[in-house]
Structure formats: C-alpha cells, structure tokens
C-alpha cells in the first residue's frame, strides 16, 4: 500500500471539526464546555456507557472539550494520518482508528468510570501504535534509515504524550494507553500481510478485526460486570440538557477528562 493516497485523514478531521462546529452553534462553550454539555453530545461516562447508551464509547471519540483540545488532537491526527495512508489500505486505516478509539473508551470506563471522557487521542495513540508495529515488523519497501527515523519520531510522540498525560490534571491517560496497546496489537497482527496480494490481505484483515471485535466486546462485558453498580435503573426524565434529574447535582461536580 506504499504510496496509495486516500482522503481518510481529511475526512476524519472534517468529521471531528463538523461535530465541534455543531456544538458551538448550539451554544456549547468553544473554550470550556461543561460536563453536562459534553454528556449531551455523547461523552463517555460509566453510568450511561455501561448502561443504556454504549454508543457513547464511539461517539465520544468525535467530541472535544474546547478549541485547544480539538486543535491539538487534529494536528496529531493530521501528522500521523498521512503516514498511515501510505502504509495501510483505507479499510485497515479506518478499522484500526475505530477499534483503538473503542479500546481507549473501554480502558477509560475501567480505570475511572465516573469521569466524563471525550476526545480522539485514544484512536490517535492507537494509530501511532499500529504504525510502530507495522514499521518494525512489516517487510515494507522503505529504506531502513527512513524506517528508523520514523520509528524514533513515533516512539518520541507516544512517550512524551504518555508522560505529559501522567503528570497533567484532566487528561485521560488510561484511554491513551488503551488505544496505544490496541494499536500495537493490531499493527503486529497485520504487519506480515501488508504487502500481500489483495485477496490474501483482505481475508487476513477481516479475520484480525473480527477477533478484535470479540476481544473488545469481552473487555466491555468484563468492565460492565466490575462497574455494574454504577448503572442507574429507571432513568427519570430530565429537564436540564438531557441529564437525568437523579444525577444533576452529581454531574455538576464532575471533572471531565480529555484525551
């Protein structure tokens, strides 16, 4: 797939940007949105995501907590994405990005289920992990010196951002780690077949992502079992931005985490 150009990165950046613009147009703060506003737009939160609204695990990857948050994430996606388009076919890119974003959400629900989480960086870390594994293990028609330089840059990106996430408040490092580990695993599984004939590559990719879907489902069910006591029963109607009355006071006190 070396040299094959597809507009996947542009599309993903556009989708994230469109969600942010829609949020702002509905009077969500472009600088410091509240947890209640983020929840209304699909943020990841244990009592919802582990209960009646598991779709939040995916939706939260396209929601951002302010202009600085989305700008930093989209800059990283833009930088990594065009490299991914040269290494992976379009389906591999999209499925890797999506699976790693979900893995980050599951890790976040396991580690701190009562924090409201938003952002694309779980998926972005996963993309970095998949590229690291693919470049290291794959037999790609790229000069060794270029591979080594790219690997160094990717490892520096992952290491620096994991360190920053560990020392800074309000950053969901569990989602970063979950996405990165998922990306490394997927990249390793896919690496040997990246340059295979299309039929062989496509069949292998299908098997890898079916296995990934099973693992993600089992991980979600385990987290749901461990943190099942957080799931509210009989959600009452809300009169305040979609937040159930039983949780208004609690939600107002939440600190949301960005990823």
pLDDT given for residue 245 in this prediction: 37
In a domain, residue 2? The reply is no
CATH number of the domain bearing residue 138: 1.20.1540.10
- Tell me which residue range forms the domain holding 220: 8-258
Nearest-angstrom CA–CA distance, 77 and 12: 8
124: how many CB neighbours lie within 10 A of its CB?
32
- Residue of 35, 60, 174, 176 with catalytic role: 176
Q: Is 176 a catalytic residue?
A: yes
In a domain, residue 3? The reply is no
The pTM assigned to this predicted structure is 0.87
For 238, phi then psi, to 5°, come to: -110, 145
In a domain, residue 213? The reply is yes
Tell which residue, 48, 53, 50, has the closest CA to residue 226.
50
- Residue of 49, 115, 121, 174 with catalytic role: 121
CB 258 within 8 A of CB 170: yes
Nearest-angstrom CA–CA distance, 13 and 7: 10
Q: Is 69 a catalytic residue?
A: no
In a domain, residue 157? The reply is yes
In a domain, residue 135? The reply is yes
Question: Across the 259 residues of the chain, what is the mean pLDDT of every consecutive 10-residue run?
Answer: 70 97 96 93 95 95 96 94 93 97 97 92 96 92 85 90 81 93 97 92 97 98 87 39 37 58
In a domain, residue 1? The reply is no
What domain count does the chain have? 1
């Amino acid at each position: 797939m070396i040299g094959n150009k597809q507009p996947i990165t542009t599309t993903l950046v556009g989708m994230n940007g469109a969600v942010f613009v829609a949020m702002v147009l509905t009077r969500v703060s472009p600088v410091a949105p509240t947890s209640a506003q983020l929840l209304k737009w699909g943020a990841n939160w244990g009592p919802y995501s582990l209960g009646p609204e598991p779709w939040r695990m995916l939706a939260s990857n396209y929601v951002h907590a302010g202009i600085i948050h989305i700008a930093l994430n989209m800059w990283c996606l833009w930088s990594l994405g065009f490299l991914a388009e040269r290494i992976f076919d379009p389906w591999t890119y999209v499925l890797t990005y999506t699976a790693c974003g979900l893995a980050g959400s599951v890790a976040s629900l396991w580690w701190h289920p009562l924090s409201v989480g938003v952002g694309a960086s779980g998926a972005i870390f996963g993309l970095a992990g998949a590229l690291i594994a693919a470049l290291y293990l794959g037999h790609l028609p790229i000069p060794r010196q270029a591979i080594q330089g790219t690997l160094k840059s990717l490892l520096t990106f992952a290491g620096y951002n994991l360190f920053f996430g560990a020392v800074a408040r309000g950053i969901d490092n569990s989602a970063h780690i979950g996405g990165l580990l998922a990306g490394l695993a997927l990249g390793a599984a896919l690496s040997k077949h990246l340059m295979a004939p299309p039929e062989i590559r496509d069949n292998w990719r299908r098997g890898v992502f079916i296995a990934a879907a099973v693992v993600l489902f089992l991980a979600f069910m385990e987290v749901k079992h461990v943190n099942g006591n957080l799931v509210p029963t009989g959600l009452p109607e809300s009169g305040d931005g979609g937040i159930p009355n039983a949780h208004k006071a609690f939600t107002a006190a939440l600190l949301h985490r960005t990823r």
